[in-house]
């Protein structure tokens, strides 16, 4: 997309994950959450990206250099809030001064290209200086609330959960933590943000308050599905994301003609291709850049990693890693093939 760039906020330490690696490297369907975000940005046409790293930044930077080509990094040495993280990408913003920037969390794997594109279209069609990506949810606990004027429905503020009074906590439109900003407008207010709040942090949503106080146009793009804004702060939430992602992949395969009589223990990555009339049986795991042809029987209890299985193959309790099995080949149960 023309005149766009993105900042991914990826400095979290994963304390509640109880992990020694940066939180955004926690995996959903075997793919780190930050890779889901980068892939969505790239698919939407945004390739000018800066990831703000923090906790054990060397580990994250190494992953980005190896698997997220073209993504540059900035470092937030002290975690002092989301606005402070954006300031750490100050040089990136100034190099892209005349553009719109999408600021998005690196732990929101379900942000999708359509949401990115449609929210930018709204942002530009209304000549907004900022557009919040919001959602209407059944349980808003933990999210910042979008406060609107009852009369004209215009946005008044974003109030964080810990700073909200009882009335504000009843609001069900929430901030996803993703925003489009006109960069010049963002830079005109971000250094004025205070940390006078319950967390003593510099909140990026306060940039919205500053822009509104200047009478500048701000609106929200409401996502069509609240799953888009979901993230994970612990392994229980990460498990929930995995369940959602897994169900979407299996549903897509079944609608494409793949027979999955029972989904028990079946995990298939989203990029895997499976032909029609293939039957996938319980306990089967298919990972990486794998493909399975038509008319196959895979499982039960088979694992396929970065392998290509041609048509009409039966794999019972078989492990395949980086191999090709050609049509007509017979594979004995309990085989291990490299």
Other residues' Cβ atoms within 10 Å of the Cβ of residue 153: 8
Element (H, E) at 251: helix 235-255
Contact 221, 122 (CB under 8 A): yes
pLDDT, position 303: 98
Q: Is 23 helix (H, G, I), strand (E, B) or coil?
A: helix
Contact 208, 113 (CB under 8 A): no
In order of start, what are the domains of the chain with their CATH numbers? 4-229 (3.90.550.10), 256-337 (2.160.10.10)
pLDDT, position 208: 95
Nearest 5°: phi and psi at 292?
-130, 135
**Cα→Cα distances 315→132, 274, 287, 331, Å:** 49, 14, 15, 6
Distance between CA 180 and CA 24 in Å, rounded? 21
- DSSP for 88-146, written as a single string: TTHHHHHHTTTSEEEEEETT-TT--HHHHHHHHHHHHHTT-SEEEEEEE-S--TTSPEE
pLDDT, position 157: 92
First to last CA, the chain: 42
Q: Is the peptide bond before 300 cis (omega within 30 degrees of 0)?
A: yes
Distance between CA 314 and CA 333 in Å, rounded? 9
pLDDT, position 172: 96
Nearest 5°: phi and psi at 55?
-60, 125
Element (H, E) at 4: strand 4-10
Closest listed residue to residue 92, CA positions, set 84, 83, 105, 101: 101
Contact 301, 315 (CB under 8 A): no
Distance between CA 54 and CA 186 in Å, rounded? 22
pLDDT, position 107: 96
Contact 280, 299 (CB under 8 A): yes
pLDDT, position 16: 87
Local structure of residue 169 (DSSP, 8 states): H
pLDDT per residue as tens, the chain (338 positions): 889 999 999 998 878 898 889 999 999 999 999 999 999 999 999 999 999 999 999 999 999 999 999 999 999 998 899 999 999 999 999 999 999 999 999 999 999 999 999 999 999 999 999 999 999 999 999 899 999 999 999 999 999 888 899 999 999 999 999 999 999 999 999 999 998 877 788 989 999 999 999 999 999 999 999 999 999 999 999 999 999 999 999 999 999 999 999 999 999 999 999 999 999 999 999 999 999 999 999 999 999 999 999 999 999 999 999 999 999 999 999 999 99
The partner residues of 74 in beta bridges, in order of sequence, read 52
pLDDT, position 14: 77
pLDDT, position 8: 98
Token pair 């042809």 is found at 293
- 262 burial (CB, 10 Å; 0-12 / 13-18 / 19+) is exposed
pLDDT, position 211: 97
Distance between CA 124 and CA 312 in Å, rounded? 51
Distance between CA 280 and CA 259 in Å, rounded? 6
Closest listed residue to residue 34, CA positions, set 86, 75, 71: 71
Q: Is 84 helix (H, G, I), strand (E, B) or coil?
A: helix
Distance between CA 224 and CA 36 in Å, rounded? 19
């Amino acid at each position: 997309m023309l005149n766009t760039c993105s900042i991914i906020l990826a400095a979290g330490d994963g304390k509640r994950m109880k992990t020694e690696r940066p939180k955004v490297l926690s995996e959903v369907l075997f793919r780190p959450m930050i890779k889901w975000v980068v892939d969505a940005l790239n698919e939407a046409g945004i390739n000018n990206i800066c990831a703000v790293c923090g906790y054990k930044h060397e580990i994250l930077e190494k992953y980005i250099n190896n698997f997220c080509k073209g993504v540059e990094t900035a470092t937030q040495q002290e975690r002092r809030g989301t606005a402070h993280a954006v300031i750490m990408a100050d040089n990136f913003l100034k190099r892209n001064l005349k553009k719109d920037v999408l600021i998005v969390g690196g732990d929101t794997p379900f942000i999708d290209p359509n949401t990115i594109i449609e929210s930018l279209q709204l942002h530009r069609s209304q000549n907004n200086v900022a557009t919040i990506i919001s959602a209407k949810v059944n349980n808003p606990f933990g999210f910042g609330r979008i406060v609107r004027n009852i009369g004209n429905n215009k946005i008044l503020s974003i109030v964080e959960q810990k700073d909200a009074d009882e009335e504000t906590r009843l609001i069900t439109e929430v901030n996803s933590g993703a925003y489009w900003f006109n960069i010049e407008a963002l830079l005109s207010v971000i250094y004025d943000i205070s940390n006078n709040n319950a967390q003593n942090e510099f909140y990026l949503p306060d940039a919205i308050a500053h822009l509104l106080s200047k009478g500048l146009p701000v609106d929200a793009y409401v996502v069509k599905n609240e799953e888009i804004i979901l993230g994970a702060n612990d392994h229980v939430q990460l498990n929930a994301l995995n369940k959602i992602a897994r169900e979407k992949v299996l549903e897509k395969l079944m609608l494409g003609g793949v027979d999955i009589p029972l989904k028990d223990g079946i995990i298939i990555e989203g990029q895997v291709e499976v032909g029609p009339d293939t039957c996938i049986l319980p306990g089967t795991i298919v990972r990486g850049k794998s493909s399975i042809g038509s008319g196959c029987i895979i499982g039960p209890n088979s694992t396929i990693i970065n392998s290509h299985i041609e048509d009409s193959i039966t794999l019972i309790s078989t492990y395949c890693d980086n191999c090709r099995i050609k049509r007509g080949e017979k594979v004995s149960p309990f085989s291990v093939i490299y």
